[in-house]
Chain A
Amino acid sequence: MTRLGGGRLPSPDVGPERMKSPLEQHKVRFALAMILPIFALYAVLRIYPIVQAFYLSLTDYQIGIRKYSFVGLANYIDLLSNLDFLVSLKNSLSFAALTLVFTLFIALMIALVMSRAAIRGIGLLQTLIFLPVVVSVVPSAIIWNWIYDPQYGILNYLLSLVGASPMNWLFNKSTALYAVIAFTVWRWIGYYMIIFWVGIRAIPETYLEAARIDGASAWTSVRAIVLPLLRPIVLLATVLATINGFTIFTEVYVMTTGSQSAPGNTLSVLTFDIYQRGLVFYKVGEANAEAIYLFLILIGFTLAQFAMNRRKQDLY
């Protein structure tokens, strides 16, 4: 084999540009020209705000105060001993974990049943389950506020039929978080059900038929064929549900607004605390430090989920 200058072998597909034909060079320039505006837009709308947020997190900047100074990592360190931040972090972790588990489990069960069982009117059923996803979150949250109303709520009414005492679901510290989790699970089941349903439908019928001929039970088919083949979809749903769980805001905001609702601190999550710190207390520096923490948490969880999925794939 002939060695070229520098002792490196030329790559057949990524050689120096001078080796490309004028037509290919033209194509590359055209592609770059097409991508550039989108990239520029992305840089302005996404990358710049993230960089700016990181910069502001290192300052004591407050909206409406002209002078501010560089404080290094002080905001990050202060947050670690800030009770509101710690409560919000704990609530966010609980919220994300519980919504993820319940939403995905219920959605997967419904998708499995719907894809396998012969149910009449399945389209209507799917629409009904999907409906909460398309209803705006604010009216939904207000409706659920009324469902939980201690005096006039339908939940307490139904419980009273079986002799249970009425409860103030949103006010009570031991039930408030779960009340909002129940609402969120209800909202998102339909979305993940559709994702799982599409994934299950994509599995070739022949695999399941072969399993049936071999005498596998329905559960064995699901465990040995459907679930392993559905892993990429489960990963996608898990990543999406984790991000959704950590970035929930409107539900908490609406369900803590007004004297009939939950106490703010009981339900405070990271996004709510960031909003409060930045746009109520106007402490933009601290709020950005908290936002960077949230960003790192999300990146960390997402990478961990990908890594776990890769390890499982390697095992098979």
Chain B
Amino acid sequence: MSFKRAVGILAILVCGTMAFASGSSDAAATITMWTGYAETLPVFNAAAADYTKEHPNVKFEFSNFTLREEEQKLQIAMSAGAPPDISDLSSQLTQRNAAQGFLDPVPSSYSSWLKQNWEPVYLNALTYNGKAYGIPSIQGFQLLYYNLDDYKAAGITKPPATLNELMENARKLTKYDANGKVTHSGISLRLSGQGSGIAEKFEIFLFANGAAVLEPTGPGKWKAGFNNEAGYTALNFYLNALYKYKVDSFDVQHDEAAFVGGVTSQFNRETYIIGSMKKNAPTRTYGITQAVGDSKRGTNLNVGVLIVPAAAKNRALAWDFIRYASADKYCVQMMRDVGWTCSKKGVDYSSVYAIEPHFQQALDRPKGFQLRPAQASVSWAEVFTNFASALTVAYTDASMMDNKPKIMAWLQAQADAANKVLEKNKEF
């Protein structure tokens, strides 16, 4: 066989295979989905299995990464034009990517279904220029966890509703050694670590008086919103907790480890703690209440969104599957087996509440309680991370406590820095 003839046959074979492959893709599709919440995969696997029963030609490929990794991979994959068919994404990144044309808008035929099943606060978080660019899935929000045994021992009968009550309770709950050092904190505040988490936790104390780290000033425009009375009250609360009332300390364990380990009585965290307590401290009795507040009461809301990239191969199928996986029974499974709560309204969780009543407490919000979605600003990560870094330094400065001029000057300096970042990104 001559060389030219061999090449010719090979070319025919390659073209034939490609034609077959492209022709068959219409018949059988594989939907790819990326998630940064590996723990939710059993729910999506169950939905996929049910969906495949109804659509035998559709297969699924799920990949999971850490949340940050997934965000990075997705950004790069969308920029490169090779994204998965479905991915989860935070609401603020959804708006950012929608603005850049990386996302497929939700089919217009879903409009009334969306409005029937989600509160406006969730839909607004993923709407850009009047179009929804995703379907809300799970939600993360801060709750106040309190140890009931500690409450009983301290004679506390009800959870706090205001900052003062929170501090009063913390003072009754704190334990000290012979040298006056804290051995058991009355409240575990987020004081250290990297990233934006420190500022996000601080923001709950800003919400308590109606402020936020970033406040909108117009479409796509923001300004720092903490250089005010609410900012002073929030920062002074931390400093009083550390230096005046000594209800928390740098020298004790913090956060989930402290609450699970029984060395703190109160702390703010998301609903996943319910699962963690069940697994790691099943005998400990505890209660859940909403974040405290003075003039206002509210919490930050992270809306998990299922999106379909504009460059996805199977967009119509992807939207159909997302709608399918949003059915009530998967929300119930998500809460029961994973510990995340869906953002969909009207789901009957009574079967889960019977097993784990803490979820009912988590979703029982007082009237007027505000859910504040993360601001859809390009500068969000930088502003929050920088503010978090600055807060870790401020928390170590006892001389700022009750010193209003000093605190206000510090807040103003941080606000100027945040506004500079916004200005650089043309968002001020």
Task: Give residues in A with beta carbon < 8 Å to B.
Answer: 62-66, 84, 149-152, 165-168, 170-173, 253, 256-266, 276, 279-283
Closest chain A residue, CB of each to CB of B257: A260
With A168-B251, A280-B68: A256-B193 Cβ-Cβ less than 8 Å:
yes
The answer to whether A257 touches B194 (Cβ under 8 A) is: yes
**Interface mask (B88-112 → A, CB under 8 Å = 1, otherwise 0):** 0000010011001110000000000
A307 to B97, CA, bound (A): 50
Is B117's beta carbon under 8 Å from chain A?
A: no
Please name the 9 residue pairs, one residue from A and one from B, whose CB atoms are nearest each other, closest first: A264-B194, A263-B392, A265-B389, A259-B255, A256-B194, A281-B382, A259-B254, A150-B251, A63-B75
Closest chain B residue, CB of each to CB of A280: B381
With A64-B79, A263-B392, A265-B392: A151-B193 Cβ-Cβ less than 8 Å:
no
B212 to chain A, nearest CB (A): 20
Please give, as numbers and ranges, the residues of chain A lying within 8 Å of B250 by CB-CB distance.
150, 168, 171-172
The answer to whether A258 touches B100 (Cβ under 8 A) is: no
Is B190's beta carbon under 8 Å from chain A?
A: yes
**Interface mask (B45-71 → A, CB under 8 Å = 1, otherwise 0):** 000000000000000000000001000
B residues contacting the other copy or chain, number (CB 8 A): 41
The answer to whether A150 touches B253 (Cβ under 8 A) is: yes
B385 interface neighbour in A171, A173, A262, A281, Cβ under 8 Å: A281
A281 to B250, CA, bound (A): 29
With A166-B251, A280-B68: A264-B389 Cβ-Cβ less than 8 Å:
yes
The answer to whether A64 touches B192 (Cβ under 8 A) is: no
The answer to whether B193 touches A261 (Cβ under 8 A) is: yes
A67 to chain B, nearest CB (A): 9
Is B163's beta carbon under 8 Å from chain A?
A: no
A265 to B76, CA, bound (A): 27
A261 to B255, CA, bound (A): 11
The answer to whether A150 touches B257 (Cβ under 8 A) is: no
A166 to chain B, nearest CB (A): 6
A171 interface neighbour in B68, B100, B192, B378, Cβ under 8 Å: B192
Beyond known contacts A64-B93, A280-B68, A280-B381: 10 more, CB 8 A cutoff: A63-B75, A64-B75, A84-B386, A150-B253, A166-B251, A261-B193, A263-B194, A264-B194, A266-B392, A281-B382
The answer to whether B78 touches A64 (Cβ under 8 A) is: yes
The answer to whether B195 touches A264 (Cβ under 8 A) is: yes
B76 interface neighbour in A63, A65, A84, A257, Cβ under 8 Å: A63
A263 to B390, CA, bound (A): 10
The answer to whether B255 touches A64 (Cβ under 8 A) is: no
Please give, as numbers and ranges, the residues of chain B lying within 8 Å of A152 by CB-CB distance.
253
Please give, as numbers and ranges, the residues of chain B lying within 8 Å of A170 by CB-CB distance.
192
The answer to whether A261 touches B381 (Cβ under 8 A) is: no
Can you report 9 A-B residue pairs in the complex whose CB atoms are below 8 A from each other? A84-B389, A149-B253, A168-B251, A171-B192, A172-B250, A260-B193, A260-B253, A262-B193, A264-B194
B414 to chain A, nearest CB (A): 12
Find residues 198-257 in chain B having any chain A CB closer than 8 Å to their own CB: 250-257
A266 to chain B, nearest CB (A): 7
A84 to B417, CA, bound (A): 12
Closest chain A residue, CB of each to CB of B189: A259
A257 to B193, CA, bound (A): 5
Is B7's beta carbon under 8 Å from chain A?
A: no
Please give, as numbers and ranges, the residues of chain B lying within 8 Å of A84 by CB-CB distance.
386, 389
Please give, as numbers and ranges, the residues of chain A lying within 8 Å of B68 by CB-CB distance.
279-280
With A171-B250, A261-B192, A280-B381: A65-B393 Cβ-Cβ less than 8 Å:
no
A257 to B421, CA, bound (A): 24
Please give, as numbers and ranges, the residues of chain A lying within 8 Å of B256 by CB-CB distance.
259
A75 to chain B, nearest CB (A): 11
Please give, as numbers and ranges, the residues of chain B lying within 8 Å of A279 by CB-CB distance.
68, 72
Please give, as numbers and ranges, the residues of chain B lying within 8 Å of A264 by CB-CB distance.
193-195, 385, 388-389, 392
With A257-B193, A260-B192: A64-B253 Cβ-Cβ less than 8 Å:
no
A174 to B193, CA, bound (A): 16
Please give, as numbers and ranges, the residues of chain B lying within 8 Å of A283 by CB-CB distance.
382
A259 to B269, CA, bound (A): 12
The answer to whether A259 touches B191 (Cβ under 8 A) is: yes
* Most B C-beta atoms less than 10 A away, residue of A149, A256, A263: A263
* Most A C-beta atoms less than 10 A away, residue of B78, B194, B195, B263: B194
A152 to B251, CA, bound (A): 10
The answer to whether A263 touches B253 (Cβ under 8 A) is: no
Is B396's beta carbon under 8 Å from chain A?
A: yes
A93 to B386, CA, bound (A): 22
A263 interface neighbour in B79, B179, B193, Cβ under 8 Å: B193
Closest chain A residue, CB of each to CB of B388: A264
A166 to B250, CA, bound (A): 11
**Interface mask (B106-122 → A, CB under 8 Å = 1, otherwise 0):** 00000000000000000
Closest chain A residue, CB of each to CB of B380: A281
Closest chain B residue, CB of each to CB of A149: B253
The answer to whether B195 touches A280 (Cβ under 8 A) is: yes
A251 to chain B, nearest CB (A): 13
**Interface mask (B370-396 → A, CB under 8 Å = 1, otherwise 0):** 000000001001100110111011001
A168 to B193, CA, bound (A): 13
